[in-house]
Structure 1
Amino acid sequence: MKYVDEVTKRYKDTNASILGKTVYRSKRIEDLRNLLLASAPTICSQRAVAVTKAYQEFEGENIYILRAKALKKVLEEMSIFILDGELLVGNQASTPRSAPVFPEFSINWIIDELDGKPMRPDQRQGDRFIISEEHEKNIRELAPFWKGKTHAEHCEKLLTDDIRNTGAIGAVDSYWLMNGADGHLTVDLKRVAYEGLISFKKQALSKIDSLDLSVPDDMTQLPFLQSCVILCDAITAFAHRYATLAKEMGEKENDPQRKAELYKISEICNRVPEYPARTFHEALQAYWFINLVIQIENNGHSYSLGRMDTNLYPFYKNDLESGELESADDAVELLSCLFLKLFQLNKIFTFDNQKSFSGYQLFQNITIGGQDKNGHDATNELSYLVLETQAAIRLHTPSVSARYHDRVSNKFIHACLDCIRLGGGQPAFYSDEIYIPALVNRGMSVEDATEYSVVGCVEAVCEGKCGHRPNGSGLINLGKIVEVALNNGVDPRTGICPHAGNGDLTTFKTFDEVFEAIKQFSAWYIREQVIWDNIIDKCTEQYIGDPLVSMLIEDCIGRGRGLKEGGMYYDYAGPEFIGTANVGNCLAAIKKVVFEDKTLTAAQVMHALHTNFKDMETSPTGAEIQQILVSAPKFGNDDDYVDELTVEYFRFICEEIVKYKTTRYGRGPIGAMWQPSTSTISANVPFGAMVGATPDGRVAGEPLADTTAPMHGTDTHGPTASLKSVSKLPTVLVSGGALLNLKLSPASVDTQAGRQKFISLVRTFLGDLKGMHIQFNIVNADILKEAQKEPQKYKDLMVRVAGYSALFAPLDRDLQNDIIARTEHVL
């Protein structure tokens, strides 16, 4: 059957093409896209009601059995629907783009916000959610059952005073993990497509049969393995619900084409994900069902889809040869349906946490390109079709990640540029030249490292073999650490002193003493972050268990234990370091202005910082002091004076974090260590709001530098100098992923000469300079300012935020301003 009706093809932007091929949205896709863009994000109580009933009914059961039975009840009782024109089916909540509630993780903050503390979800400036009276009533009624039983409350009881104080001053934040869940992984979707859930069920049953329950360790494995069987049956039954619904709808449908489509959907849902997929359509439906159920079961995010182009290419190729797919356009339409399903998924964060995860993002990633295990270019026709799909859909999720290596063709980079220049920074580039050695450096085999795909923002995993959040743990505010280090450990904003120092800036006799103090405070706060996240991990192990994602990761079934018990093959975790460039700039300013040139005294600098450069009675005035500090060398201009200080500090924190082990250490996995990442998400904005004026000339409350990028407006020597500074960082140590935003003028890539410069820039940075990652915003700041004024005219305007894209209009105004303020380079 041909999916694309050539007569009804339409597309609104004649400039949309990939390698000269015009990219279309069919009427089906156009209608679905418009419907979803018009659907306001809402809050749904259905999951919360079903989970609460399950916890009441099965209270006292082993956590794996309890969680499996709870998911089974949700999948049985939640409402299901099929939208007009859909070719892939499955919904997360009662309406499209509705966010379910996870009371077992946390419920108190939801009640507080419904009470207007600090404001209701529908009154937020960014990431608003509407809730009906019925759903609000349901949530309020079930909340008392969860008092004292939630994941957040279990964690809260174990927090030390030091950890509470680090959170209070804004130096570290892991509260989002207490209120939510881990995520940041890619399960073995390839195995699901090629073998079906029946393979996992048979493996679990075989393992159960092999247990000797008189052996204590064997006995402890039984509940997890039993939960796997329950889950396989529950997901199969869930798919069969859609098979029944599609058949019923088909019987009532008058349009012959749609009737045939609904009957085919019914046939597909009766087969996958239980049994191996036979076609490209079935494989995509299997992928979607598993990804969907994980989102329903677990309150995490960054569950990604892996190397779809290489993993699913055999299905695509076979369907073209057999005639199941009449053309590549049919595959693009199916991929478009998948992209729109991923866009429907939603999650509500707390009022405070949404500032760091702004943009209705679930950080779902699709990886294309790269190389195979023999080092050959793995790009194929499906790689280009994913780019065509992104160009057609042009929404912020899923994220598309393009793997770069020195043998990748210019054709592929041209295709990526065609997609990027449409707006939204999709795809981002990830360099095999650094990611693979970085992963091998942490103990991953070369073969598995070569097969890496991206989850979340920039984290690389071996899909189906890695556990939760290789990064995406606590957020560490480097700007705040510098501030307290210069103030003898005291936070000037709150007066809290989590950790006392050996003096402040005015008492240090040499620059080396200053640098050593900053290193010592960094080490202390890193340790607190590790303690905090290990507490969360132990509570997750005891009270959540994660049987579903564990079942889908090698070798949890073989070992008879879940992820938090060490069932996975590889285990890494780690924080996001935020404000890297600010630290380098502060160090350079103190070294040059105070200790070398002696333009200012330490006392003058400290007074200016404490008064936010506003004291006009001093000599020099606060404004003059700020200008002196601003004029000091800045990271991002290929200036070794500041770059070397930044590199030294960055290497220190990278080597400090890997000293620590996860709670799975010694329990089976390779690695079991903490690792660094520079993905800031959007946390550089709220973290900056907690940091006073800093010695780099930054005023109090201003956002910190995002990712590894230079501080906004300070990289004044062009894009090449900026990239050369960033490339000096020892990114091979950043196995959790280093991230770089670069904003380009659209005019830079409008000509053939500009396109060649773009390709040269990508190859130079990722190849010659061994950069790890780069992503581009190619959108004019004037357009963004217009979108602020008239958001309804720009409802699908997309921008790159950090390691993800977002629709611009719904973002918090502070984050919008931060994106507008980024330095715009011309090639």
Structure 2
Amino acid sequence: MSSKFNNNPTAKSERITRLVENLYRNMPEIEPARAVLLTESYKETEGEPIIMRRAKAFAHILANIPITIRDEELIVGSSTLAPRGCQTFPEFSYEWLEAEFDTIEKRSADPFYISEETKKQLAEVHKYWKGKTTSELALSYMAPEAARAIEHNIFTPGNYFYNGVGHVTVQYDKVLEIGLEGIIREAAAELAGCSVGDGDYARRHCFLEAVIMSCAAVIGYAGRYAALAAKEAQECTDAERKQELLQIASNCERVPAKGARSFQEACQSFWFIQQLLQMESSGHSISPGRFDQYMYPYYKKDLDEGRITRDQAQELVDCIWVKLNDLNKARDAASAEGFAGYSLFQNLIVGGQDEDGRDVTNDLSFLCIWASAHVFLPQPSLSVRVWNCTPHELLVEAARLTRTGIGLPAYYNDEVIIPSLMNRGLTLEDARTYNIIGCVEPQKAGKTEGWHDAAFFNMCRPLELVFSNGRDKGEQVGLQTGAVEDMTTFDQFFDAYKKQMEYCISLLVNADNAIDTAHADRCPLPFLSSMVDDCLKRGKTVQEGGAVYNFTGPQGFGIANVADSLFAIRKLVFEENKVTLAEYKRALALNFGKGFDSITVSEMTGEIIKELQKAGQKPSEAQVAGIVKGIVDTQLSDKDRQLCEKLYDMIEEVPKFGNDLEEVDLFAREVAYTYTRPLQNYRNPRGGTFQAGLYPVSANVPLGAQTGATPDGRLAHTPVADGVSPTAGKDVNGPTATANSVSKLDHGIASNGTLLNQKFHPSALSGDEGLNNFVALIRSYFDQKGSHMQFNVVDKNTLIDAQKHPENYKHLVVRVAGYSALFTTLSRSLQDDIIRRTEQGF
């Protein structure tokens, strides 16, 4: 049977190869221009409303920041002169950057070059920002016990504490249709309807004026590129390149000021919006969304009228893919470990349904898949929507891309996500047209301020607090739920865990809401808000609640560890009476005899710190850990060794989540509810609700390094399980069994997204049979109400060799968590975590 789709792959141009090579020629560089220009403007607008200060600063930046057109590119607009460089955003935070001036180039995760001159300029700029950042204001709003929980690594909201929010998809379709001049007209009409006697006049009129100013600034910025392209064309001696530059100049004169008339204009208009949203704020996960839908009319019209060929259209799409990898962001060292790989999580999704429930796969859906194969870079984070009417051809082409080992695309289940969004208040039409933000987070484009990825919550840490009666490193961090030695039933122990969870969740909510409020007070974003409904009519930025849908979505991780831990305790302690909780506690404190841990020696740690401080010392964490380790090692008696070895061996024999064992899997479902159910009862300052996600990005590695041994046999300071995936190496019954287990979790209640990682040996997807088996696995998992799947298809030996000889694997891309990254750019600990994942085959 012939396909209705033209799914014959298009060609990759030599231009794209050269653009990629030029992009990765040097280490990314930090540039000072934005921070200097921002500060100049802020100094001139002291005392004005914050929304006007933001708009004027944005306009000053876009009018003066250096611009460049890179060799051979067809889509222009670069935030830095250096490829993959980044600007800085001192209005959110700056202290961490100053502290890392001399180490950021040498750190293991996401290093950046920074010149001495740039350090000097930024150090001078930073003097102005002391006491004025969102991070400082957020901390002043935060409850002391919430701040203490952060210090003790129960959770971390550092993503938005140090940075902008991002995590949004705007109305690209609207800009393509009416241009920014059309949005200016809408804002002007709303402004004309304001009366000076209105109760909200003061804020509303300032906001609308800021929108007009910001949109005009972007039009002016595009005009600068039009002039630069015309100038370069005049000086160009290559006839072909001269014509390309003249076309670029014509495009930039037209868009994004006005509606696009051609596919190339639409591509250029899209790119200016995508780039400048990230110039306005320090947010990431600003996601293109359903690119194959809003771009398709321009593509089809040009194709039908003979103005473009499929190969020419493919090259333009490929150029956008290259540009998406040109954007970059510097994070503090700890956050860089959690987001390793220079990722900006720009999620672009293809396929799915329209608002009437009809499949909308089209030719551009395929071009997007091939663009990822051509460019073979981490961005965009390509995704595919899957439902029972998804064409088999689309899934086969997606599987071909997965087979390359790039870790793309990720696969999402309409049959779970649409009803879960409706349960959160979206209309059926809006839910059907969802896209994915960042890693795995669903939302309705152009109507949502989702605050996805709002915090990482380590579900293993409240379990540690149960064993320590709420104490950590000598401080009372959690609740006093009683000594575990006195607990006589499993229900008592499980109830103590639930209480610790609920208390820690309340602290997480407090921290998130404090940061949320600080962003509204100090960094409202008029340009972003101009492209999100219903900000113009409400007269509010998204930070103040202007969006139709408002959520906060922090994510929990470590479900497999906690489920396996609690299951082992129930079985070994309370059902089989093979060990006591006191003995379990002792073994955990001794890290099962395999090294140092700090669960029940936290009191000792606190006392050592106090004694050293009394002696006038400022002890480092490593110094204290070394002292305690020496004490513990000398206390490890023969009896302790026998206990640790015996218990560790018993734990190994206990069934584990991920092997299609009903008793364990349903227990894991209940464990997941300890996070997802309490969280949804809270509200945020924008009038919306909290919704849980179950995914870690890659924070399961650095936050695992801050976590003691757990009762499932996981050793102290090693990674915890990522997302809803089983613990690495414990899913031994094959990929179908793993999928069956994970599908038994309640993915619908985790409406901020769930994440299942699987790793396959390349031979598993070889030939047509391998591709069809792979597609069948996805269909089967989704039929059982799983929400998301993503894959690494790479030989373990290849990864090991890439660690040893990174110079030979510069273009090796792998799936990390909710994103892909160049393997050689990841920290060693994160590389090790990927290598440890179970290697499956059919």
TM-score when normalising by structure 1: 0.95
- Render the CA deviation track for 1:661-714: whole Å, top value 9, x for unaligned: 11111xxxxxx1000001210100011111111100010011000010000011
Instruction: Tell me what 1:675 maps to.
Output: 691
Q: How does 1:219-258 map to 2 (within 5 A)?
A: 219-258=202-241
Instruction: Tell me what 1:650 maps to.
Output: 672
Q: Is the 8 A contact 1:122 1:129 kept in 2?
A: yes
Residue 623 of structure 1, aligned match among 645, 648, 656: 645
Seq. identity, %: 38
How far the C-alpha of 1:468 sits from its partner, in A, is 4.2
SS in structure 2 of the partner of residue 368 of structure 1: strand
SS in structure 1 of the partner of residue 592 of structure 2: coil
How far the C-alpha of 1:540 sits from its partner, in A, is 0.8
> Residues 396 and 543 (structure 1 numbering): CA distance in 2 closer, same or farther, change over 3 Å?
same
Residue 755 of structure 1, aligned match among 757, 766, 771: 771
How far the C-alpha of 1:652 sits from its partner, in A, is 3.2
Q: Is the 8 A contact 1:431 1:771 kept in 2?
A: yes
Alpha-carbon separation, structure 2, partners of 1:23 and 1:806: 25
How far the C-alpha of 1:482 sits from its partner, in A, is 1.0
How far the C-alpha of 1:20 sits from its partner, in A, is 8.4
Instruction: Tell me what 2:729 maps to.
Output: 713
Alpha-carbon separation, structure 2, partners of 1:176 and 1:569: 24
Instruction: Tell me what 2:383 maps to.
Output: 401
> Residues 161 and 267 (structure 1 numbering): CA distance in 2 closer, same or farther, change over 3 Å?
same
Q: How does 1:38-49 map to 2 (within 5 A)?
A: 38-49=25-36
Q: Is the 8 A contact 1:23 1:391 kept in 2?
A: no
Instruction: Tell me what 2:597 maps to.
Output: none
Q: How does 1:726-737 map to 2 (within 5 A)?
A: 726-737=742-753
Task: Structure 2: state its 5+ residue gaps.
Answer: 594-635
Instruction: Tell me what 1:12 maps to.
Output: none
Stretch of structure 1 that moved more, 328-337 or 637-646: 637-646
- Render the CA deviation track for 1:186-218: whole Å, top value 9, x for unaligned: 011110011100111001111111001112223
Instruction: Tell me what 1:823 maps to.
Output: 838
How far the C-alpha of 1:23 sits from its partner, in A, is 5.5
Letter of the 1:28 counterpart = R
Q: Is the 8 A contact 2:530 2:536 kept in 1?
A: yes
Residue 201 of structure 1, aligned match among 167, 184, 195: 184
Q: Is the 8 A contact 2:169 2:437 kept in 1?
A: yes
Please tell me the root mean square deviation across aligned C-alpha atoms, in Å. Answer: 1.3
Q: Is the 8 A contact 2:691 2:750 kept in 1?
A: yes
Instruction: Tell me what 2:361 maps to.
Output: 379
Q: How does 1:473-492 map to 2 (within 5 A)?
A: 473-491=454-472
Instruction: Tell me what 1:6 maps to.
Output: none
How far the C-alpha of 1:158 sits from its partner, in A, is 2.3
Alpha-carbon separation, structure 2, partners of 1:746 and 1:28: 29
Instruction: Tell me what 2:808 maps to.
Output: 793
Q: Is the 8 A contact 2:179 2:258 kept in 1?
A: yes
Q: Is the 8 A contact 1:468 1:563 kept in 2?
A: no
Letter of the 1:578 counterpart = F
Instruction: Tell me what 1:154 maps to.
Output: 137
Instruction: Tell me what 1:448 maps to.
Output: 430
> Residues 651 and 621 (structure 1 numbering): CA distance in 2 closer, same or farther, change over 3 Å?
closer
Letter of the 1:722 counterpart = T
Alpha-carbon separation, structure 1, partners of 2:133 and 2:33: 18
How far the C-alpha of 1:507 sits from its partner, in A, is 1.7
Q: How does 1:582-601 map to 2 (within 5 A)?
A: 582-601=561-580
Count of residues in Structure 1 that have an aligned counterpart in Structure 2? 795
Q: Is the 8 A contact 1:519 1:649 kept in 2?
A: no
Instruction: Tell me what 1:289 maps to.
Output: 272
How far the C-alpha of 1:19 sits from its partner, in A, is 9.8
TM-score when normalising by structure 2: 0.93
Stretch of structure 1 that moved more, 550-559 or 20-29: 20-29
Residue 573 of structure 1, aligned match among 552, 566, 574: 552
SS in structure 2 of the partner of residue 277 of structure 1: coil
Instruction: Tell me what 1:3 maps to.
Output: none
How far the C-alpha of 1:234 sits from its partner, in A, is 0.3
Alpha-carbon separation, structure 1, partners of 2:166 and 2:771: 37
Alpha-carbon separation, structure 2, partners of 1:387 and 1:110: 37
Alpha-carbon separation, structure 2, partners of 1:199 and 1:101: 31
Q: Is the 8 A contact 1:401 1:427 kept in 2?
A: yes
Alpha-carbon separation, structure 1, partners of 2:665 and 2:465: 23
How far the C-alpha of 1:751 sits from its partner, in A, is 2.5
Q: Is the 8 A contact 1:46 1:94 kept in 2?
A: no
Q: Is the 8 A contact 2:288 2:346 kept in 1?
A: yes
How far the C-alpha of 1:599 sits from its partner, in A, is 1.1
Alpha-carbon separation, structure 1, partners of 2:769 and 2:216: 57
How far the C-alpha of 1:134 sits from its partner, in A, is 1.7
Instruction: Tell me what 2:401 maps to.
Output: 419
Task: Structure 1: state its 5+ residue gaps.
Answer: 1-17, 666-671
SS in structure 1 of the partner of residue 789 of structure 2: strand
Q: Is the 8 A contact 1:579 1:684 kept in 2?
A: yes
Letter of the 1:720 counterpart = T
Instruction: Tell me what 1:769 maps to.
Output: 784
Alpha-carbon separation, structure 2, partners of 1:486 and 1:647: 22
Alpha-carbon separation, structure 1, partners of 2:177 and 2:85: 31
Letter of the 2:16 counterpart = I
Residue 529 of structure 1, aligned match among 508, 530, 544: 508
- Render the CA deviation track for 1:551-576: whole Å, top value 9, x for unaligned: 11011001111112221111111111
Q: Is the 8 A contact 1:616 1:623 kept in 2?
A: no
- Render the CA deviation track for 1:99-127: whole Å, top value 9, x for unaligned: 1110111111111111x4xxx10010121
SS in structure 1 of the partner of residue 476 of structure 2: coil
Stretch of structure 1 that moved more, 723-732 or 143-152: 143-152
Residue 695 of structure 1, aligned match among 692, 697, 711: 711
Alpha-carbon separation, structure 1, partners of 2:373 and 2:6: 12
Instruction: Tell me what 2:656 maps to.
Output: 634
SS in structure 1 of the partner of residue 333 of structure 2: coil
Q: Is the 8 A contact 1:155 1:178 kept in 2?
A: yes
> Residues 462 and 20 (structure 1 numbering): CA distance in 2 closer, same or farther, change over 3 Å?
closer
| Alignment of 1:345 onto 2:327 | yes
Q: Is the 8 A contact 2:413 2:787 kept in 1?
A: yes
Instruction: Tell me what 2:620 maps to.
Output: none
Letter of the 1:791 counterpart = P
Instruction: Tell me what 1:333 maps to.
Output: 315
How far the C-alpha of 1:306 sits from its partner, in A, is 1.3
Instruction: Tell me what 1:5 maps to.
Output: none
Q: Is the 8 A contact 2:139 2:147 kept in 1?
A: no
Letter of the 1:740 counterpart = L
Instruction: Tell me what 2:608 maps to.
Output: none
> Residues 373 and 411 (structure 1 numbering): CA distance in 2 closer, same or farther, change over 3 Å?
same
Q: Is the 8 A contact 2:583 2:643 kept in 1?
A: no
SS in structure 1 of the partner of residue 821 of structure 2: strand
How far the C-alpha of 1:499 sits from its partner, in A, is 2.2
